[in-house]
Structure 1
Amino acid sequence: MDGVLFTSVFVTLFVIMDPVGTIPIFLSLTGGRSPQVSRRLAWQAVTVSFGVISAFAFFGQQILSYLHISLPALQCAGGLLLLLVALELLTGKESEPTAAAETNVALVPLGTPLLAGPGAIVATMVFSKQVDDFKQFAAVALGVIAVHISIWLAMRFSLPILRVIRESGVLLVTRIAGLLLSAIAVQMVANAVRAFIAGEG
């Protein structure tokens, strides 16, 4: 296995996907659910993220080309979707879709676009282009798997925090998560706009 490539893939995706930064958002989105349900949502979110990133690693360029979608457009769409969720967390509207107990937040927004967002997708597509033999393929694959294991561990072992901070703490974490998520969303849209402008120039 190519150790240098593995390290590069792991570090890059770890920074982009930010397992530690995902914890407050995960706690806010799973607040009010039982520990068993929260653990299942953590597992589902990681599975969805891994599936999306794997699909784009193999077929990403073909998918975007077939649908005539540019990477900045994908990034802007992900940013707008995250912004909607962030506004819900900030305002605390219980009537919103993700506030319902039956809503599977593991799919959206956790699995995608928060974890498997445009940044992670593009990075994985770039690394997949460097694969020329089995050793490099194994390095990229194991790097992606290792990052997702890190994300699952971060979310899985963040659950005891809920029992400590209780309802008032969950409300505070929810507002903080909304602020962080809105900043991430605005940055994604800003990056997409800059990419659009650079492309037009």
Structure 2
Amino acid sequence: MNGIVDGVLLTEVFVTLFVIMDPVGTVPIFLSLTAGRSTSVSRRAAWQAVAVSFFVIAVFAFFGQQILEYLGISLPALQCAGGLLLLLVALELLTGNEQEPTAAVGTNVALVPLGTPLLAGPGAIVATMVFSREVHSFPDFAAVALGVVLVHVCLWAAMRYSLPILRLIRESGVLLVTRIAGLLLSAIAVQLVADAVRAFIAGQG
């Protein structure tokens, strides 16, 4: 297998992206954002979010540096923007305003904030761009590609099988999970912004 895939690079890519994208940590956020929706809508949101995330990651893996340079956007700026967007979502979860729109929310939730910037966030994008620079042969390319695919399979499985949890904890449990998810998401958002500010101060922006 080492002749086809670089096993060391594959492990590094998978572990790094798994930690950054955190499939287990997306479960409470997914449950809170899809609360009150039918099973089919929630399942569709799960695979749509993963598809959007995979598409964004793939685009930035191939063209990320060129896109940012063309638009004149620095990585800290991208990170700060993602953090602010997540903070808005977190505030909605904490205040309970996220359940006001009920009609076409399913698809929108899959796109934003699930697909991006929660899954395909600045951290995952930057990590993928860094790994893409290490691709010098087909085994390297296969390792990075397979690592990205495996992480997205884990993400889909975590959200897909969070539905039995939803049926188990009922509405009161969803409310509790929603508040916890809002708190965790706000912490993630603040950390993203803080890291971006630190990078700006260090002169990387």
Q: Residue by residue, what CA displacement relative to the aligned partner does 1:138-186 show, whole Å, maximum 9, x if unpaired?
A: 0000000000000000111111011111111111110000000000000
- Pick from 6, 11, 28 the counterpart of residue 7 of structure 1: 11
Counterparts of 1:189 and 1:71 in 2: how far apart (Å)? 12
Tell me what 2:158 maps to.
154
**Identical columns (%):** 81
Aligned residues: 199
Contact 1:33 1:101 in 2 (8 A): no
Q: Is 2:102 the counterpart of 1:100?
A: yes
Alignment of 1:20-99 (within 5 A): 20-93=24-97, 99=101
Stretches of structure 1 that go unaligned for 5 or more consecutive residues are none
* TM-score (normalised: structure 2): 0.95
Letter in 1 for 2:89: V
Shift of the 200–94 alpha-carbon distance from structure 1 to 2, 3 Å rule, reads closer
RMSD: 1.3
Cα deviation digits, residues 57-85 of structure 1 (max 9, x gap): 00000000000000000000000000000
Match runs of 1:125-144 below 5 Å: 125-144=129-148
The AA in structure 2 aligned to 1:83 is L
Distance 2:204 2:41 in 1: 46
Distance in 2 between residues matched to 1:151 and 1:45, nearest whole Å: 9
Query: d(CA) in 2 for partners of 1:47 and 1:100?
Result: 23
In 2: Cα distance, 1:82 partner to 1:11 partner: 23
**TM-score normalised over the length of structure 1:** 0.96
Amino acid at match of 1:12: T
- More displaced stretch, 139-148 vs 163-172: 163-172
**Deviations along 1:44-69, whole A, 9 cap, x unmatched?**
00000000000000000000000000
- The question of 1:168 aligning with 2:167 is answered no
Counterpart-to-counterpart distance in 2, 1:81 and 1:34: 26
Query: Counterparts of 2:80 and 2:147 in 1: how far apart (Å)?
Result: 26
Distance 2:8 2:26 in 1: 26
Unaligned runs of 5+ in 2: none
Contact kept, 8 Å, 2:33 with 2:98, in 1: the verdict is: no
1:93, CA displacement in angstroms?
Answer: 1.6
Show structure 1 runs of 4+ deviating over 2 A. none
Letter in 2 for 1:165: I
